[in-house]
Each structure stands twice: as structure tokens, then as C-alpha cells.
Amino acid sequence: MATAVRPAVVGYPLAVSSDGSDRVSRRWQLTPDPVSARVARRLIHSVCEDWAVHDQACYDALVVVTELVTNVVEHAGTECQLTVSVGGEGLRIEVRDFDQSRPPQPRPASIWPARGQGLRVVALLSSQWGVTELDDGKTLWAVLPITSTPQARQAR
């Protein structure tokens, strides 16, 4: 697997890697600060531009990353790792926290919810989503459908 490190859009280190397949990924470390959701949106927007993910898929990715990072900031209160990858399954967004509390669960639907519907939004926008529990935290992830991978777009 090839890995390169370069400065990220906002100064956080990021890893760019490819395992030789059609899968490409990038990873960033974010602080437990409310501004991290905005930073994550900028990073995802940059990835969408770099990988030619446009229109609805990019918009959906911006909404999903906002919800996942906001969950970490508000509930886990730890740093988080944002990883985004693209491959045959689509655009995969992962947000890993370092809090050992129980994984979040979607709340029941409400006619006029003021808060607490983020995971329901993630479920609606993604083709798959879930939580992977780890010894020292958890990773919330979502896969959003896209029409082609970066290599297929470059071949055009």
C-alpha cells in the first residue's frame, strides 16, 4: 500500500493511501471543538472536487459528515479521526471517536424535533451505515452511492 503525508486543507496532517485497487482514501485528525464539523465539511468538499464527486452525492456527503462529527463533539467529547474513501461500494465516510460509551442509536421520529435526528438523516441519505465498536472507542460509518470511482472518471 502506498502512503503519502502532506498538509491538509486546514493544517491537520492527513494520510492519502491506495491499496492498488480502485479504493482511494484520506484521513484527518479533528479536535473535539464545535468548529470541527465545519472543518470536516471543507475537507469533504475538497475530496468531492478532487475525486469528481458532484451534485447530490457531494451534498449528501456534506450533510452526513456534519452529523457524524457533531455526534463526536457533542456526545463523545474526544478527538476524532475522519476517513473518507471511494471504491466500488461508493463514497465511505468514517468518524472514529475515543469514547468507550455505548454506540449512539437513532431516536424515534418526532413531528417537530429540535434535535436528535442526526442518525436518522444519515440512514436516509446513505445506502449503508453502522457502528463498529472498538476497545477504545467506536467508528460510525456511512456509504453513499456514487456513479463511478476516480479511476473510471480519469479514464474518460
DSSP string, the chain: -EEEEEE-TTS-EEEEEE-SSS-EEEEEEE-SSTTHHHHHHHHHHHHHHHTT--HHHHHHHHHHHHHHHHHIIIII-S-EEEEEEEETTEEEEEEEE---SPPP-PPPP-SS-SS--HHHHHHHH-SEEEEEEETTEEEEEEEE--S--HHHHHH-
**Residue with the larger pLDDT of the pair 63 and 74:** 63
The residue ranges of every structural domain in the chain are 2-107+115-155
User: What rounded mean pLDDT belongs to the chain?
Assistant: 79
Whole-prediction pTM? 0.77
**For residues 51-61, average pLDDT:** 91
Quickly name the fold that domain 2-107+115-155 has. Heat Shock Protein 90 (3.30.565)
